[in-house]
Structure 1
Amino acid sequence: MHDWKNELDALVAETMAFTKSLKLEIQLPRSLPKEAVERGDLSASEYDGSEREEIKKRVESFKAHQKHFTREREEYANSQLRRIRPITRA
């Protein structure tokens, strides 16, 4: 019954030795984005249309904002995959 405990201890010891043998450098992002997208709020002076037009402008702004975040997220994921790919092949 205690055999599995010995195997578990051996596995943990082997894993710890393996992780200590790895030499990884963690690279921080070069720079943090200042502002993802400038706010597209409409001031009272800019508003001269109907509510429908205001909603349309806000929806377009929101969609552009979401596309920007999606593109940024994909670029970050690809950069991380390029960074770890050589490590995982070894």
Structure 2
Amino acid sequence: MAFAKSLKVEIEPPRPPPKEAVDQGSRSVADYGGSERDEIRKRVESFKAHQERFTREREQYADSLLRRIRPITKKSSLSGS
């Protein structure tokens, strides 16, 4: 007990929680100028357009890759016979 009393322990007061960089009340939701149904419809349209763009880019990449590979595969199949 004497040893415990000989130790000096400083207890810091609790720190206040950190302030957020953005105030919760100032956040704004994208305004699509209408009802929630209109907002959902526009978001779905945007998502579909985004997915179609990815599909189109993926197909273009595959086509370009196949165009580069075809001459190589034709040469190797001819020389292997």
TM-score range, shorter chain: 0.5 to 0.7
Report the number of matched residues.
48
List alignment gaps of at least 5 residues for structure 1: 1-42
Find the aligned partners of 2:69 and 2:34 in 1 and give their Cα distance.
Answer: 51
1:68 alignment partner AA: R
Cα root mean square deviation, aligned: 1.5
Normalising by the residue count of structure 1, what TM-score does the alignment of the two structures yield?
0.49
Task: Write out per-residue CA displacement over residues 25-57 of structure 1, whole angstroms, 9 at most, x where no aligned residue.
Answer: xxxxxxxxxxxxxxxxxx646333111000000
Matched, 1:78 2:60: no
Task: Write out per-residue CA displacement over residues 45-75 of structure 1, whole angstroms, 9 at most, x where no aligned residue.
Answer: 6333111000000000001001100000000
Higher relative contact order (CA 8 A, sep 6+): 1
In structure 2, the residue corresponding to 1:49 is in which secondary structure? coil
Is the alpha carbon distance of 1:87 and 1:61 closer, same or farther for their aligned partners in structure 2, counting shifts above 3 Å?
Answer: same
Find the aligned partners of 1:75 and 1:48 in 2 and give their Cα distance.
Answer: 36
1:70 alignment partner AA: T
List alignment gaps of at least 5 residues for structure 2: 1-27, 76-81
Identity of aligned residues (%): 73
Normalising by the residue count of structure 2, what TM-score does the alignment of the two structures yield?
0.54
